[in-house]
């Protein structure tokens, strides 16, 4: 026993700083945050009276918050769908060694390197539904104008200025930015499939479609799962892109819990801000904890 | 013979189609960059959303001058923030990954999973007490507190990437070093660290980009005067009477460092993904 402790003791010691830092900055702060969310700390003046789950019930009954949850759902579905479709398509097109592969890959990947704050500057313009009257009949702006000029005028819309579906417009730049990352993940997945496997399937007389259906797609499903988890949890946290595109943080049309939390924080409503944080955490945990358990179990096998 | 030529024709059509689609998407992806670029060279009247797609009537650099003047102080601060925090979290992550893959102890998997969860938490769920904690620790707002936060919250992903990367280092190498009587640190120094370069490239790219691009922590822990470049840019671009040329020039200036990193090292990044060092 002592001998074993001697072999793993130094390891634990080396890990100690990280364990302490993560323990304090992640787990202890989550507990602290939970505690604040149970108090009536709604102004800058310190106040620690426990009110139980009152803040949660009030939030969940608040139509504004309900709307922010709806927005979050739409955002996540569109963001996930879009990045998976484009990411997979690009990876599939580039899967077989192609001329200029490096160029295409770099172009598709480059938006990922840019901050949401920087890309928000231009997307705020492109997604503008502004109608200006200018000499020469140039009324529409941004993407609407482009769609109009290539004959897709029917696709013009108000983008984010719509209370029900406006949030889907916010997903457009998010898709633009992260499809390349999903492509890189899928490319890694494709390249991880041994050539012998394909050869064997071809020799067995597999058609290309059957090869994909029975050999390649099943091999890609772990990559797909990773992509869903990464994009999904990014979507729940998405804050800066909305702040960059929509000038007013408290805009009902595109309010999500993360932006609402910021508004509450600015207004010194710490208890509500903490409660919104907890709700986001629960939403993330529902998805991530089973995933972490699944991957750690899959590794053992 | 006939069916052969048919097949080559078919293949040629397929290939043309493939490149047509690839190029189509290149244009789509580059469109926003095009608008950013041309607008940044426009004069005030010309920089109007209705003229977004047209080239400047006169190429002007006023926007760039104004953007540079506004952003310059924050750029220096951001470098000061990003470089040390990326290096420290990468180094700690490398040590962690080494211990967790090669020097395992009972419960190592549970500890790893608990660390990993820190990567997924929405920071909103710790932000309120975090502001309190950082001020109680007496760490000044702005760059110093942001540096601490980027190191701490970067640890999970750095640990993950290195742990997966070191999994591909043969255990025999470690065993051999141990046989020779090398301790945990000597083994790290003589066996693990020398082969770590690809792992460091991926982690440093990742940490550099995410700290450079961070806005959430920056918004909570700094103000305009001591904030990093994302904060300065949001002030430049967020006002009521926005100077569009300047804000677009600013967005380009703020993106140059991460763009350079991706253009120069993007190959290694994708390579790192492919060798399975980033599983997510």
Q: pLDDT, tens digit, for every residue of A215-233? A: 888 888 888 998 999 899 8
CB atoms within 10 A of CB A45: 7
Asked if the Cβ–Cβ distance from B96 to A138 is below 8 Å, we say no
- A12: which residues sit within 8 A by CB, 6+ positions away? B105
Alpha helices in chain A (DSSP H): 2-22, 29-37, 54-61, 63-95, 101-109, 116-126, 142-149, 166-191, 195-203, 208-211, 217-237, 240-245, 257-266, 270-300
Q: What is the nearest CA distance from A110 to chain B, expressed in angstroms?
A: 7
The minimal CB distance from A292 to the residues B35, B113, B184 is found for B113
- The span from the CA of A232 to the CA of A224, in Å, is 12
> Which among A233, A240, A277 is the nearest to B215, CB-wise?
A240
State how far residue A204 is from chain B, nearest Cα, in angstroms: 20
A128 vs B contacts (CB less than 8 Å) = 49
Instruction: Evaluate if residue A143 carries a pLDDT over 80.
Output: no
Q: What's the pLDDT tens digit per position in B92-139?
A: 999 999 999 988 888 888 999 999 999 999 999 999 999 999 999 999
Residue in B103, B220, B233 nearest the CB of A118: B233
Average of per-residue pLDDT across B244-259: 94
| pLDDT(B280) > 50 | no
| Chain A interface, best mutation among B16, B24, B28, B32, by max A CB count within 10 A | B32
What does the mean pLDDT of chain A come to? Answer: 86
CA dist., res. A51 & res. A39, Å (int): 5
Q: Are B113 and A259 in contact (CB under 8 A)?
A: no
Based on the number of CB atoms within 10 Å of its own CB, is A70 exposed (0-12), middle (13-18) or buried (19 or more)?
middle
pTM, entire model: 0.90
At residue A292, the pLDDT reads 87
Mean pLDDT estimate for chain B: 89
Q: Does the pLDDT at position A159 exceed 80?
A: no
Angstrom distance (rounded) from CA A80 to CA A226: 12
Q: What digits encode the pLDDT tens for the residues B49-105?
A: 777 788 898 899 999 999 999 999 999 999 999 999 999 999 999 999 999 998 888
Interchain pair A115, B130: CB under 8 A: no
CA atoms of B214 and A240, how far apart (whole Å): 9
Using a CB–CB cutoff of 8 Å, tell me whether B167 touches chain A.
no
The residues, ordered by sequence, that sit 6+ positions from B257 with a Cβ below 8 Å of its Cβ are B79, B208, B212
Inter-residue contact B158 to B278 (CB < 8 Å) = no
- Start-to-end C-alpha separation, chain A: 27
For the stretch A96-116, pLDDT in tens is 877 888 899 989 999 999 999
Of the residues A25, A270, A271, the best mutation for testing chain B's interface (the one with the most B CB atoms within 10 Å of its CB) is A25
pLDDT of residue A2: 47
Would you call B114 and A11 a contact, using CB atoms and an 8 Å cutoff? no
- Which residues does chain A have within 8 Å of residue B247's beta carbon, measured at their own beta carbons? 121
Residues A241 and B150: their CA atoms lie apart, in Å, by 20
Smallest CA–CA distance, residue B32 to chain A, in Å, is 7
- Phi and psi of B208, rounded to 5°? -60, -50
Calpha distance A218→A224 (Å, rounded): 10
Nearest-Cα residue of chain A relative to residue B164: A299
* Confidence label for B175 from pLDDT (cuts 50, 70 and 90): confident
pLDDT, position A1 = 42
């Amino acid at each position: 026993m002592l001998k074993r402790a001697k072999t793993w003791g130094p390891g634990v010691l080396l890990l100690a700083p990280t364990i302490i830092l993560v323990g304090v900055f992640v787990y202890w702060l989550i507990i602290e945050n939970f505690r604040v969310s149970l108090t009536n700390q709604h102004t800058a003046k310190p106040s620690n009276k426990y009110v139980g789950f009152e803040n949660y019930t009030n939030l969940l009954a608040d139509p504004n918050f309900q709307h922010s949850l709806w927005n979050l759902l739409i955002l996540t579905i569109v963001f996930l769908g879009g990045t998976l479709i484009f990411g997979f398509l690009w990876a599939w097109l580039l899967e077989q060694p192609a001329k200029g592969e490096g160029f295409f890959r770099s172009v598709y990947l480059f938006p990922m390197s840019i901050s949401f704050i920087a890309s928000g500057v231009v997307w705020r313009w492109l997604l503008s539904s502004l109608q200006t009257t200018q000499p020469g009949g140039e009324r529409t702006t941004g993407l609407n104008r482009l769609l109009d000029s290539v004959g897709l005028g029917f696709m013009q819309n108000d983008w984010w200025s719509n209370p029900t579906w406006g949030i889907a417009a916010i997903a457009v730049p998010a898709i633009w930015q992260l499809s390349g990352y999903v492509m890189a993940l899928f490319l890694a997945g494709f390249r991880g499939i041994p050539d012998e496997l394909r050869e064997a399937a071809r020799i067995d007389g597999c058609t290309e479609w059957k090869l994909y259906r029975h050999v390649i797609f099943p091999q890609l499903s772990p990559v797909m799962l990773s992509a869903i988890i990464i994009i999904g949890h990014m979507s729940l946290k998405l804050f800066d892109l909305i702040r960059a595109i929509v000038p007013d943080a408290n805009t009902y049309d595109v309010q999500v819990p993360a932006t609402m939390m910021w508004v509450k924080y600015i207004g010194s409503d710490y208890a509500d801000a903490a409660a919104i944080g907890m709700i986001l955490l629960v939403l993330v945990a529902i998805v991530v904890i089973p995933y972490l358990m699944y991957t750690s179990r899959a590794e053992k096998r | 013979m006939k069916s052969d030529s048919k097949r080559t024709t078919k293949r040629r059509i397929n290939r043309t189609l493939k490149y047509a689609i690839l190029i189509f998407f290149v244009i789509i992806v580059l469109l926003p960059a095009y608008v950013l670029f041309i607008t940044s060279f426009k004069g005030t009247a010309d920089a109007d959303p209705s003229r977004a797609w047209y080239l400047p009537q006169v190429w002007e650099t006023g926007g760039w001058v104004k953007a540079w003047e506004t952003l310059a102080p924050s750029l220096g601060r951001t470098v000061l923030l990003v470089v040390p925090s990326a290096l420290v979290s990468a180094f700690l992550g490398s040590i962690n990954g080494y211990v967790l893959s090669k020097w395992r102890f009972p419960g190592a998997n549970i500890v790893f999973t608990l660390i990993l969860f820190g990567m997924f938490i929405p920071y909103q769920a710790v932000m309120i007490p975090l502001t309190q904690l950082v001020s109680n620790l007496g760490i000044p707002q702005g760059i110093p507190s942001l540096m601490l936060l980027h190191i701490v919250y970067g640890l999970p992903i750095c640990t993950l990437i290195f742990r997966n990367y070191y999994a591909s280092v043969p255990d025999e190498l470690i065993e051999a070093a141990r046989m020779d009587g090398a301790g945990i640190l000597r083994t790290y120094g003589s066996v693990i660290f020398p082969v770590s370069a690809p792992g460091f490239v991926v982690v440093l790219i990742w940490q550099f980009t995410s700290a450079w691009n961070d806005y959430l922590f920056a918004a909570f822990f700094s103000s305009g005067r001591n904030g990093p470049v994302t904060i300065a840019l949001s002030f430049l671009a967020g006002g009521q009477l926005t100077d569009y040329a300047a804000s677009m020039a600013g967005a380009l200036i703020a993106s140059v460092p991460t763009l350079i990193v991706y253009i120069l090292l993007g190959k290694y990044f994708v390579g790192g993904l492919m060798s399975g060092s980033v599983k997510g």
